[in-house]
A and B are shown apart, each in its own frame.
Chain A
Amino acid sequence: DTAVSQTPKYLVTQMGNDKSIKCEQNLGHDTMYWYKQDSKKFLKIMFSYNNKELIINETVPNRFSPKSPDKAHLNLHINSLELGDSAVYFCASSRPGGFTEAFFGQGTRLTVV
């Protein structure tokens, strides 16, 4: 059983398109995250949700919109994709409070052409 699963694993799309990445966790965690990993491997928080409530919203363009229909899901929708959005996006989950590790999905490699 995959603990945190993201789909798709690879996403190639043209500039200006709108795309979504789905994330589901079966660990019963209350907190979910989206991280972006750039070409230099730097991992940066984008969003954090706790029990479906948005907790962290870093300085991310408003073209990025997370949606949490329930505790087990946190999807990421991106409007009007730009070349600079090309990166690997990781979904993760953890128990709230930061005292346990985060479990990461396999990542979604987004390439905007």
Chain B
Amino acid sequence: AQKVTQAQTEISVVEKEDVTLDCVYETRDTTYYLFWYKQPPSGELVFLIRRNSFDEQNEISGRYSWNFQKSTSSFNFTITASQVVDSAVYFCALSEARPGNQFYFGTGTSLTVIP
């Protein structure tokens, strides 16, 4: 069974603090893809990153970084020096490489950055 767990429902940090959003996934497939999406207060879903199951290299993009560890089935997201504009709901998602795939989403983590 496929499942994505984001145990942190809500997080509040003060601006400039670092924050890590946790994501744990379950799948029986050996080939799969992991994603992070951002949903700001305006409501749209913004794609942030994709990672395939064969690539465990961590990735950094500006203040954002992602840590993928197959051994613990985790794909965590860290925001360094958080800003007010980072306030949003962040979703982790899983997709399996097969016809008729769907994207399985976690329940989201609501991040509030306090100025």
Contact = CB atoms under 8 A, between A and B. Distances in A.
Contacts, number: 71
A106 B104 CA distance: 19
Contact of B101 (A43, A98, A103, A107): A98
Interface in B28-43: 32-33, 35, 37, 39, 43
Nearest to B103: A102
B107 A40 contact: yes
A106 B43 CA distance: 7
Contact of B96 (A40, A41, A42, A98): A98
Nearest to B100: A55
Listed residue (A40, A41, A50, A56) with the most chain B CB atoms within 10 angstroms of its CB: A41
B108 A41 contact: yes
A2 to B, nearest CB: 11
Residues of A contacting B: mostly: strand
Interface string A82-109: 0000001010101011111111101101
Interface string B94-115: 0111111111110110100000
A104 B101 contact: no
A46 to B, nearest CB: 10
B108 A104 contact: no
Contact of B50 (A42, A45, A97, A100): A100
A-B pairs, top 10 by smallest CB distance, nearest first, are A98-B101, A98-B95, A55-B100, A104-B45, A43-B105, A101-B47, A45-B102, A41-B108, A101-B50, A106-B44
Given A50-B99, A97-B99, 15 more contacts: A33-B103, A41-B39, A41-B110, A48-B100, A48-B102, A56-B100, A96-B101, A97-B97, A98-B95, A98-B96, A99-B97, A100-B33, A106-B44, A107-B43, A109-B43
